[in-house]
Structure 1
């Protein structure tokens, strides 16, 4: 049996989106601010040497556009796996999607919605750090938590990951 390796889970709230009249919630696009901040998130990940092997993304337009901009900031990233189950999902539902990731993946990026992303981070966090407190207190658009775990994806359930960073990308 192989030795477990440290894995990273990046849990991101989609970037700032518009509320155009007559547009269904699922189809809401990003605002220019959201486009900038999602790109900054990708740049932060790239500059910190973090590259997802797997990207799990809600089917909402704003989540898909967030993924695209994060990927452009990374320079090289896999195509996202789109999941209807991540749209307006609870933490439990999001976790069910993560639990199906192949164990060979070392880094997973999940892009979804509030309140599920915040609930998922607080459910998984085992540490009382500044990053953990920040994520529990507020989870603005474009924010993401970086969690590390030795637990297999299929067994990830609660209090089995450590938050190493909570990032809120903002630009001028």
Structure 2
């Protein structure tokens, strides 16, 4: 294995009529989910060296709670471009990661996170609920990450 990409959808967020979508907070369930994912990643030895997180409040909160369960806190890029990114844009962000990084975590939104996991899998990940995590083992450097260059497996699907 050359590189490991961890794809995570944010944890369960509130439905908040009248509030801008990017400002939605996590629910209590979502906070618990995020904490559980952090513990799971640590237990599985899947500690990211770098994180790319959407700038939406719910993804930032998800990442903060995941990070609390990890033994080390990786360098984190919070970017607005992941909020509305499609798979191609997400892969462009991945392609810019320092080649020295071996494990990268993306914390984003559906449908992109589900589509990204499916692009590396057998296409069978249409149901990717909040706090779902897929692990993609890549055979290439970040710059060349694309469907067909690695294999995905679901680690967590709450």
TM-score with structure 2 length normalisation?
0.94
For 1:86, the equivalent position in structure 2 comes to 82
Report Cα offsets for 1:31-65 as digits up to 9, x if no partner: 01000000000100001111100000000000000
Stretches of structure 2 that go unaligned for 5 or more consecutive residues are none
| Total equivalences in the alignment | 158
Which of the pair has more CA radius of gyration?
1
1:67 equivalent to 2:63? Answer: yes
**Deviation, structure 1 residue 66:** 0.4
**Deviation, structure 1 residue 140:** 0.4
- Give the secondary structure class of the aligned counterpart of 2:42: helix
User: Where does 1:29-108 land on structure 2 (aligned, <5 Å)?
Assistant: 29-108=25-104
Stretches of structure 1 that go unaligned for 5 or more consecutive residues are none
**Deviation, structure 1 residue 161:** 1.0
For 2:106, the equivalent position in structure 1 comes to 110
Relative to structure 1, the CA distance from residue 118 to residue 165 in structure 2 (aligned partners, 3 Å threshold; closer, same or farther) is closer
**Deviation, structure 1 residue 79:** 4.1
For 2:16, the equivalent position in structure 1 comes to 20
Please list every run of at least 4 consecutive aligned residues from structure 1 whose deviation after the TM superposition is greater than 6 angstroms: none
TM-score with structure 1 length normalisation?
0.86
Judge which range, 24-33 or 71-80, deviates more: 71-80
CA distance in 2: counterparts of 1:124 and 1:102, whole angstroms: 21
1:162 equivalent to 2:156? Answer: no
